């Protein structure tokens, strides 16, 4: 039995977004316990030229929804980046989860060879579906989720691999 494009994308993104939601729930509680202003925690970054925790989460969700939409060959849902709180980030994650749940395997399976082209800023990208998923969509999703995790570890949170990966 071979792995399908749907199996390699949507369920993986859904599981990891669930884990990210759990991590953010712990982060909000941690901020409250330590009497850390939540907005300060959300603005935390590892280095001045890196994105903040808040922006890392927004980008993580952007890659999840764009990955699903591009593989399905449908327009990308647009979510303005207006979140300023943990609760608003949780709502954003939920909206992306709902979108991913609306995608059916038949929309994505067989997309390995589908041309996927898009622009980000002044950069144009051209992939087939398989290369997009394995060399761009999933790696970028994990990059930004890992950065969010690392920011929270830097803040002193007791997080581990189990929080990041969830139950296996």
Categorize the per-residue pLDDT at 1 as very low, low, confident or very high, splitting at 50, 70 and 90. Answer: low
Judged by DSSP in three states, 104 sits in coil
Give the tens place of pLDDT for each residue, 82-100. 999 999 999 999 999 999 9
Give the Cβ contact number of residue 160 at 10 Å.
10
Report the pLDDT value the prediction gives residue 72, as an integer from 0 to 100.
98
Report the pLDDT value the prediction gives residue 168, as an integer from 0 to 100.
80
pTM for the whole structure = 0.96
Report the pLDDT value the prediction gives residue 98, as an integer from 0 to 100.
98
115 phi/psi in degrees, rounded to 5: -70, 135
Q: With a cut of 90, say whether residue 8 has pLDDT above it.
A: yes
Domains and CATH numbers, the chain: 5-104+124-163 (1.20.120.450)
Q: With a cut of 70, say whether residue 108 has pLDDT above it.
A: yes
Give the tens place of pLDDT for each residue, 21-56. 999 999 999 999 999 999 999 999 999 999 999 999
Determine whether 14 is exposed, middle or buried from the number of CB atoms within 10 Å of its CB (0-12, 13-18, 19+): middle
Average pLDDT of the chain, as a whole number: 97
Give the tens place of pLDDT for each residue, 114-168. 999 999 999 999 999 999 999 999 999 999 999 999 999 999 999 999 999 998 8
CA 44 to chain centre: 18
């Amino acid at each position: 039995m071979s792995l399908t494009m749907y199996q390699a994308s949507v369920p993986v993104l859904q599981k990891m977004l669930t884990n990210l939601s759990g991590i953010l729930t712990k982060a909000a509680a941690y901020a409250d316990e330590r009497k850390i202003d939540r907005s300060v925690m959300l603005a935390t970054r590892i280095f001045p030229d890196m994105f903040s925790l808040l922006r890392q989460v927004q980008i993580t969700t952007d890659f999840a929804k764009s990955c699903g939409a591009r593989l399905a060959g449908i327009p990308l849902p647009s979510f303005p980046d207006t979140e300023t709180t943990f609760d608003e980030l949780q709502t954003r994650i939920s909206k992306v989860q709902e979108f991913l749940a609306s995608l059916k395997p038949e929309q994505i399976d067989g997309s390995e060879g589908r041309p996927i082209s898009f622009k980000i800023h002044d950069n144009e990208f051209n992939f087939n579906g398989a290369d997009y998923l394995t060399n761009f969509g999933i790696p970028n999703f994990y990059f930004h989720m890992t950065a969010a995790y690392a920011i929270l570890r830097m803040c002193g949170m007791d997080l581990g691999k189990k929080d990041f990966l969830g139950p296996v």
